[in-house]
Structure 1
Amino acid sequence: MDFVQNLDPSKLTLGLTVLSFIISPFAVPTYNLPIMLFGNVVAQSQESSDGQSLQLFAGLLGGSAIFDIIWMSKNEQNGFIRLLTIVLLIAKIPACIAFFLALRQRGGQFAGLGIRGGDLSGATVWDSMPGGFGGGGSNGYQNLDEERPTQFSRPAAPPSMPVPQQTAPAPAAPGTYQNV
């Protein structure tokens, strides 16, 4: 694990991008080069990004490693190109771990699970659901047994001014036009 922590994610991604570019004209998975190019851009702007793109790249990298295995089992390759594809697949594993560690160091969350370092308390998606499924802070919904708190009651409307009544217009002479 110390070996992976000492890896520089930007240099690792640059190496994977170069390897993906070298083997791209041959019979290899076509998604590797775009993913690596995206990762290279993410790795270069790692300090300024919000963590979501870093999380996305780490997930894409891990998922593409699984798809590489499926792709290699179904397709035939030249011996040397197959060796380079296997090297790329093996290099994806420490790269994925290095990006997850970099994400953890920056305080990021993993894969939309809402798990930040094992902390499962706090706001969840259920807190924002209609019907108050979250329990705390149910956004104005209440159980039938509860009394409604005063903080949600509406203040009384201020008294309004009486509206003056309009008088009916005088009847016009017979045979003339009237404006309404």
Structure 2
Amino acid sequence: MADLLQSLDPSKLVLVETVLSFATSAFSAPVYNLPIFLFGLYAQEGSDAVQSLKAFTSLLVASILYDIIWMARNPQGWFTRLLTIATLVLKVPTALSFAAALRQRGSQFGGLGMGGNDINGATVWSMPGGFTSLGAGGRDGYQNVDDPEDPPVAKTNPPLAPIAPLPSQQPQSAPGAYQNA
């Protein structure tokens, strides 16, 4: 099964489904299929667009259920129904091939319990103030989160200076100056 999924070309599957959705869009057919597949054409073009591929794959899987509900509730002609069923049948291998492509890029569907729950992995975001999780050295004197802690350095405090007594009178302010009383 894995060899079959790897042999499928996700871009050609999406192109075929886009053409089928376009052909049925003039008739009584699900209106959401064409926008989903147009987004799929866009998403699969980017080599580093993992988030777009996740969104497309999720939309594609959800639209399978929507197709079944739509076909049960709406009458269609035989030709339009045939094209809608062909689109529905092709959605399954398309979703599986996109999920395999995501897995090859090192991404998982974390929220679906498919192995993406590693919270200890490297992150690509940084917190304000220089607390980053990537790289070394920090920013503006801050220590990076992943860097080891520096050993404490013994500091000697200078002797405290004596506090001067306060003058008995408040200093005089210039005429017309703002006074806070």
Q: TM-score scaled by structure 1?
A: 0.66
Q: Which amino acid aligns with 2:8?
A: L
Q: CA deviation digits over 1:109-143, x for unaligned, max 9?
A: 115246437xx66549xxxxxxxxxxxxxxxxxxx
| Alignment match, 1:35 | 36
Quote the Cα distance in structure 2 between the aligned partners of 1:167 and 1:4: 87
Is this contact kept in 2: 1:59–1:111, CA < 8 A? no
Q: Could you say which residue in structure 2 is the equivalent of 1:74?
A: 73
The aligned residue for residue 116 of structure 1 is 115
Report whether the alignment pairs 1:26 with 2:20. Answer: no
Q: Is the 8 A contact 1:35 1:60 kept in 2?
A: yes
- Paired residues of 1:58 and 1:96 also in contact (CA < 8 A): yes
Unaligned runs of 5+ in 1: 125-155
Unaligned 5+ runs, structure 2: 122-154
Q: Secondary structure at the match of 1:112?
A: helix
| Cα separation, 2, equivalents of 1:30 and 1:96 | 19
Letter paired with 1:85: T
- TM-superposed deviation, 1:56: 1.3
Q: Secondary structure at the match of 1:98?
A: helix
Q: Retained in 2: the 8 A contact 1:5–1:98?
A: yes
| Whole-Å separation in 1 of the counterparts to 2:162 and 2:111 | 57
Q: Distance in 1 between matches of 2:8 and 2:69?
A: 27
Q: 1:165 to 1:83 in 2, by over 3 A?
A: farther
- Give the Å deviation of 1:101: 0.7
2:15 aligns to what? 14
Q: SS at the partner of 1:54?
A: helix
Query: Is contact 1:108-1:116 (8 Å) kept?
Result: no
Per the TM alignment, residue 91 of structure 1 is displaced from its structure 2 partner at its CA by 0.7
1:80 partner letter: F
Q: Distance in 2 between matches of 1:53 and 1:68?
A: 22
Structure 1 residues 103 and 121, CA gap change in structure 2 (3 angstroms): closer
Which amino acid is the alignment partner of residue 56 of structure 1?
A
RMSD of aligned alpha carbons: 3.3
Q: For residue 167 of structure 2, what is the aligned residue in structure 1? A: 167
Aligned pairs, number: 142
Structure 2: distance between partners of 1:68 and 1:178: 79
The Cα offsets for residues 15-49 of structure 1, whole Å up to 9 and x where unpaired, read as: 1111111111211111111111110001111x122
Q: TM-score normalised to the size of structure 2? A: 0.65
Structure 1 residues 33 and 165: CA distance shift in structure 2, 3 A = farther
Instruction: Please name the residue that 1:84 is paired with.
Output: 83
